[in-house]
Structure 1
Amino acid sequence: MKYTVLGAGAMGLRYGILLQEAGFDVDFVEIWEPQISKIREQNGVYVSRDHQNKHLVPVNIYTPEEYTGDPDVWIVFTKQMQLAKALERTSHAFKDHQYALSPMNGMGHIEKLDQYFDKSKVIGATALIGTVLNGPGDVDFIGAPGAGSMHMANQTEKPDDTTNQIVKDFQKANLNPSLTTNFLGTLMAKVIFNSVVNTLCTMFEIQMGEFIQSPVAEKLGRQLINEAFDVCERANITLLNTREEEWQTVKTVSAVSNPLHYPSMYQDMSKGRNTEVDYINGYIYDLGLKYHYEATTHDFLRNLVHLAEFSRDFDPKTLLETVNE
């Protein structure tokens, strides 16, 4: 099948390049102009693995307005805040027969995809795969070949022939997919994982391996997991894991699979971009409110991240000007 990646950031590049190297026809559509310009200037993307073996991989990249391809599957990997605009700009290329698969972080994207694709052709997914965009046209795959895993679930919870073919293609690309028939439970399991690892590592500017070695990591992690499970139980969402299994996933991925990885939220924070915390911890808190439950730890962390964003961007000159007034 032919694939087009909408959102050629760190994870979009990893998925697309691995599929391309497995023999599939892949295009990339990107909305960030520096990424497009750099990739075109150097005739491809520089790819490393764990900071080593940097090499150039040719890719086809387009702006949304330029793109006229007709893929069987769109792999959607923009940031949550950018998705609505990216879909609008690319909508001329969407066709009824196409599927949309999105392993994006957080929640909020499915409703936007449903505006352009029939629900029978929307596949939600999650990815426990570490990748870093060092800069425009320069990506680092974290972990050995075959490291990481992903889950997929049809929005209808009824896998069809195309879905099964996608699974086979992703297996060939060494993305380690698992197909489930629990749509919300699949997506929320990753949201909960990110609500622990992404947010805490970002707040303290640490790698996942450092976080998990902390003597308070388990206490903090279980507190966030328990609140999130309390919310999901009230929302009648059956998660893929038990509370214990969710903690063990956090522990194993942090200690064994990706100990050197800085999560994507940290990458956004360190590069001056807004984070997706409202779509992760904030989503859990807001979902809880609908069922008269306050996940206060998640709300507290969300506000801490926003305070960190504010302080990062704050100009001390404005404070001095206020004092002098």
Structure 2
Amino acid sequence: MKVTVLGAGAMGLRYGVLLQAAGNQVEFVDTWQPNVEAMRQQGGVYVSRDHQNRHLVPVKVCYPEDYHGNPDLWVVFTKQMQLADFLKRTAHAFNDQQYVLTCMNGMGHVEKLLQYFKPDKLLAGTALVATVLNGPGDVDFIGQRGAGTMNLANYTETPDAMTHQVVAELEKCQFHPNLTTNFKGTLLAKVVFNSVVNTLCTLFEITMGEFADYAGADELSKQLINEAYDVCERDGVTMLNTRAEELASVNYVSQVANPLHYPSMYQDMSHDRPTEVDYINGYLVRLGQKYHYQAKTHAFLTHLVHLAEHTRQTAATQPAATDASVKATA
């Protein structure tokens, strides 16, 4: 299968490298210049697993304007706020015979992808797979091979032969794909998961395991999960998991699968990049408002993340205080 990965960040590289290792023809398209140039100069991407066995994997990478291939499948892993620009810059290479798969965090990407791809060729889902981009051209797969899981569904909720072929290739990569016929419920399962773990770990700068070690973690998780499910049920969504199963998923991933992992939102915050909180907790708030339901806890957390972003940005633009100025204000 010919595969082109749009967005050579942590997750894009993980999916692309493993699909390439499984025998597929894979190319990468990215817009971050330091990343593209590093991989070109190195002749590929450096790959580690749990900070060990760092080695160079040869890959092909280019900017959107320079890409003229015709893949069977696009794999899309960008940040929500970057997707529209990525798609616009790569649109010359899209056609109505191509399929697209995405497991991006948050909500908002499906509508953008449908502007370029036919509904029956759109596959979307969620990935409980921990990966870190150490820097340009350097990625770290967190967890043992096969530790992650993923769910996916067709937008039309009618799997075809190509869908099953994609699932088979993902199985070769040991992503353990679970094909469902519940499109929106599949996507929202990860939104709810991220609205708990990503947001709280980011605000307190802790790993998922450190969050799980807190005696009140279950109560925090339940409050956010219950509020999110109240919203989704008002929207008529049949959730992939029960509330209890969603809590169990949060606990398993945090305690067993990836206890040492800092979620992607934390990685963005720590590098002073905008977070996707508006597409996760903020999405649940807006969806609730549509049905006159106030998701107050999610609204509060959304504001807290933006406050943290604002505080970091303000600190970065202010000169460091001198010893004299500190003493003068003491």
TM bin, normalised by shorter chain, reads over 0.9
Partner of 2:107: 107
Alignment of 1:257-296 (within 5 A): 257-296=257-296
1:42 is matched with 42
The match for 1:61 is 61
Q: Distance in 1 between matches of 2:19 and 2:295?
A: 39
**1:164-203 equivalent positions in 2, closer than 5 A:** 164-203=164-203
C-alpha distance in 1, partners of 2:208/2:283? 22
1:32 is aligned to 32
Secondary structure of the 2:26 match is: strand
Structure 2 residue aligned with 1:323: none
Q: Deviations over 1:46-71 (max 9, x none)?
A: 10000111011010001000001110
Cα distance in 2 for partners of 1:182, 1:13 equals: 27
Alpha-carbon separation, structure 1, partners of 2:47 and 2:207: 21
Shift of 1:240: 0.5
- Deviation digits for residues 115-145 of structure 1 (CA, Å, limit 9, x no counterpart): 0001111111100000000000010000001
Give 1:229-244 correspondences, 5 Å limit. 229-244=229-244
Q: Secondary structure at the match of 2:28?
A: strand
Cα distance between partner residues in 2 of 1:147 and 1:68:
35
Unaligned runs of 5+ in 2: 322-330
2:300 paired residue number: 300
Note if 1:90 corresponds to 2:87: no
**Aligned ranges 1:144-183 → 2 under 5 Å:** 144-183=144-183
Alpha-carbon distance, 1:316 to partner: 3.5
| One-letter amino acid of the counterpart of residue 308, structure 1 | A
SS of the aligned residue for 1:134 comes to strand
Which amino acid is 1:291 matched to? Y
Give the Cα–Cα distance (whole angstroms) in 1 for the partners of residues 141 and 168 of structure 2. 22
Q: How far off is 1:317 after superposition?
A: 5.2
Rounded to whole Å, the distance in 1 between the matches of 2:249 and 2:301 is 21
Partner Cα distance (1:239, 1:9) in 2 = 29
Q: Which runs of 5+ in 1 are unaligned?
A: 320-325
Question: CA offsets, 1:228-263, max 9 Å, x none?
Answer: 000011000010000000000000000000011100
Provide TM-score, normalisation by structure 2: 0.95
Corresponding residue of 2:75: 75
CA distance in 2, matches of 1:282, 1:188: 13
The C-alpha deviation readout for 1:82-120, integer Å capped at 9, x for no partner, is 000000000000011001111000000000000000111
TM-score by length of 1: 0.97
Matched, 1:139 2:139: yes
Question: What CA distance in whole angstroms lies between the structure 2 residues aligned with 1:70 and 1:179?
Answer: 25
Counterpart secondary structure, 1:230: helix
For residues 182 and 9 of structure 1, the distance between their equivalents in structure 2, rounded to whole angstroms, comes to: 28
Large movers: runs of 4+ above 6 Å: none
Give the partner amino acid of 1:138.
Answer: D
Shift of 1:318: 12
* Inter-partner Cα distance in structure 2 for 1:181 and 1:220: 30
Please list the CA deviations of residues 252-295 of structure 1 after superposition, one character each: whole Å capped at 9, or x if unmatched. 00000001110000000001100000000000000000011010
2:325 is matched with which residue? none
SS at match of 2:65: coil
Amino acid aligned to 2:267:
Q
1-side partners of 2:51 and 2:294: how far apart? 42
Between the aligned partners of 2:44 and 2:102, the Cα distance in structure 1 is 24
Measure, in 2, the Cα distance between the counterparts of 1:222 and 1:282.
18
Name the amino acid aligned to 1:275. Answer: T
- Code of the aligned partner of 1:15: Y
1:221 aligns with 2:190: no
Matched residue count? 319
CA deviation profile, 1:14-67 (whole Å, cap 9, x unmatched): 000001111111000001111101111111101000011101101000100000
